[in-house]
């Protein structure tokens, strides 16, 4: 199954009580898609990073249906007298294939790593056709994956900078960034008109953040189709999470583009793995991540977590000392030892793809309850909900649909789903528990073109005792 998304147009009426969530994406069948996954690096500070099929299966079991592969400009361009590296391209092919094999779509994101002395000021002023060189690097990717349906799109400029330029962020955005985006989009759509282009805003200099947000506001429309607004949020102050996301929401309306959070999650300090409390200890990290996740899910936005990586190296640019975005603590490239105070939040239950319209969804960490409201449309195929039962429901879970259809899974019996209560119009065989991928597959909703309220709750709710 592959994904080809477009912006969900929001339809509101004064008489409607609920509406489909604003930032929904659609796959090629018209199903409502929530993209969630990880940034996948091709290298770190110690060298190349390699992944295998087991790593990708672990991503799936953590709820991933999307990966963002971070590209190195130095291996794709003639900057710095470099050349396109064919071995690097084959490595990218393998990452796309590994994702495809487990149902994960790919987005490529270009960074300026690998180019010594890259100058943002020279790039913006473009006196030596630096932008053409940059776009030519992208063309190698666009041509290679133009017909690969598992490549969703391209995050074309990662965290663009102002640095020492004597210009305001508004002027840099309006006069340089937006025209560059228009140029890149036009060139890309000549090669792959169906691919999505992901856009970011200017990364502000240190000390110039607004509301603890390091990303400048976009106040100029781009006037292009097939775009996604992909802001980053590395917020470490809980009170600012929602205001920052509200500002992103305003920008998405201006751009006429849905939001997919391109990166998120404040980096972990070296001390945090052993510090359970205190300033940014594990309890504080968990609270911070939970609050961020709740805001994401209330808005209905997808999100990509940095990084799916082991802890081979740390960076030292924050006052708290050495830190990393790696979600695993062991010193290997892929990593296996989870920082569970982070990963249990990342891998929370959510509707991955729904045949119909998602009106709302929310996972309550305190009660371990996923609450989902939707309008069903069985003509669009099957639906998939990530449950993560081994992580969140080791005691089993129950599925309640409109209170008259109840299924449950007892992990001790190892027999899939059992029926406690079912209306005459429902077929329990349409609900399949995929234990290997930790997903609930719904072949057909019990009522078509109807509002459904679905809850997934912990435990078996004493069903067997009442039978």
pLDDT digits (tens, 9 = 90+) for 49-62: 999 999 999 999 99
> What Cα–Cα distance (Å) separates residue 130 from each residue in 121, 125, 157?
11, 9, 13
**Do both 248 and 364 map to the same domain?**
no
**Do both 457 and 332 map to the same domain?**
no
Residue 15 lies in a domain: no
Q: What is the pLDDT of residues 56-79, one digit of tens each?
A: 999 999 999 999 999 999 999 999
Helix (H, G, I), strand (E, B) or coil at 419: strand
**Do both 316 and 364 map to the same domain?**
no
CATH code (residue 429):
2.60.40.1180
pLDDT at 463: 52
* CB neighbour list of residue 40: distance below 8 Å, 6 or more residues apart: 51, 67, 68, 69, 70, 95, 307, 308
Q: What is the pLDDT of residues 95-123, one digit of tens each?
A: 999 999 999 999 999 999 999 989 999 99
Tokens of 228: 């996604």
Rounded mean pLDDT, 347-357: 98
pLDDT at 465: 44
**Do both 341 and 391 map to the same domain?**
no
CATH code (residue 303):
3.20.20.80
Domain that holds residue 432: 356-466
Query: Which has the closest alpha carbon to 358: 65, 109, 24, 126?
Result: 24
Q: What is the pLDDT of residues 247-288, one digit of tens each?
A: 999 999 999 999 999 999 999 999 999 988 777 799 999 999
pLDDT at 278: 77
**Do both 373 and 336 map to the same domain?**
no
What total number of domains does the chain contain?
2
- Domain end among 347, 375, 405: 347
> What Cα–Cα distance (Å) separates residue 62 from each residue in 24, 239, 302?
21, 27, 14
- Domain end among 292, 320, 347: 347
**Do both 334 and 408 map to the same domain?**
no
Asked if residues 34 and 358 have their Cβ atoms less than 8 Å apart, the reply is: yes
As a three-state string, the secondary structure of 61-118 is: CCCCCEEEEEEEHHHCCCHHHCCCCHHHHHHHHHHHHHHHHCCCEEEEEEECCCCCCC
Rounded mean pLDDT, 305-314: 94
């Amino acid at each position: 199954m592959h994904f080809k998304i477009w912006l969900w147009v929001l339809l509101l009426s004064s008489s409607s009580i609920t509406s489909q969530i604003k930032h929904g994406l659609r796959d090629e069948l018209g199903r409502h898609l929530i993209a969630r996954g990880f940034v996948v690096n091709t290298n770190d500070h110690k060298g190349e990073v390699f992944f295998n099929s087991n790593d990708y299966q672990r991503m799936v079991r953590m709820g991933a249906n999307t990966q963002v592969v971070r590209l190195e400009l130095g291996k794709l361009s003639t900057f710095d007298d470099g050349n396109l590296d064919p071995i690097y391209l084959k490595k990218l092919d393998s990452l796309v294939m590994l994702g495809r094999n487990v149902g994960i779509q790919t987005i490529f994101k270009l960074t300026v790593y690998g180019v010594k002395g890259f100058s943002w000021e020279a790039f913006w002023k473009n006196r030596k056709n630096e932008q053409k060189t940059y776009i030519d690097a992208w063309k190698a990717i666009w041509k290679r994956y133009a017909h690969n349906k598992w490549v969703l799109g391209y995050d074309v400029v990662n965290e663009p900078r102002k640095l020492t330029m004597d210009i305001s962020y508004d002027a840099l955005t309006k006069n340089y960034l937006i025209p560059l985006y228009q140029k890149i989009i036009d060139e890309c759509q000549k090669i792959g008109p169906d691919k999505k282009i992901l856009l970011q805003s200017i990364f502000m200099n240190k000390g110039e953040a607004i509301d603890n947000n390091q990303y400048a506001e976009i106040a100029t429309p781009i006037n292009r189709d097939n775009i996604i607004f992909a802001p980053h949020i590395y917020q470490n102050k809980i009170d600012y999470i929602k205001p920052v996301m509200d500002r992103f929401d305003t920008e998405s309306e201006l751009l006429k583009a849905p939001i997919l959070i391109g990166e998120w999650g404040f980096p972990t300090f070296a001390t945090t793995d052993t510090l359970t409390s205190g300033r940014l200890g594990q309890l504080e990290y968990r609270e911070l991540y939970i609050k961020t996740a709740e805001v994401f899910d209330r808005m209905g936005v997808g999100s990509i977590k940095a990084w799916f990586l082991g802890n081979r190296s740390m960076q030292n640019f924050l006052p708290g000392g050495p830190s990393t975005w790696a979600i695993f603590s062991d010193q290997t490239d892929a990593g296996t030892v989870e920082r569970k105070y982070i990963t249990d939040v990342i891998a929370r239950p959510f509707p991955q793809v729904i045949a119909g319209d998602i009106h709302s969804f929310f996972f309550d960490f305190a009660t371990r309850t996923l609450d989902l409201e939707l309008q069903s449309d069985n003509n669009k195929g099957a639906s998939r909900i990530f449950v993560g039962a081994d992580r969140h429901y080791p005691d089993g879970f129950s599925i309640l649909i409109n209170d008259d259809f109840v299924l449950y899974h007892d992990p001790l019996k190892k027999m899939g789903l059992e029926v406690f209560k079912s209306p005459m119009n429902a077929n329990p065989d349409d609900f399949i528990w995929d234990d290997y991928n930790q997903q609930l597959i719904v072949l057909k909703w019990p009522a078509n073109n109807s509002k459904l309220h679905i809850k997934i709750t912990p435990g078996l709710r004493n069903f067997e005792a009442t039978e």
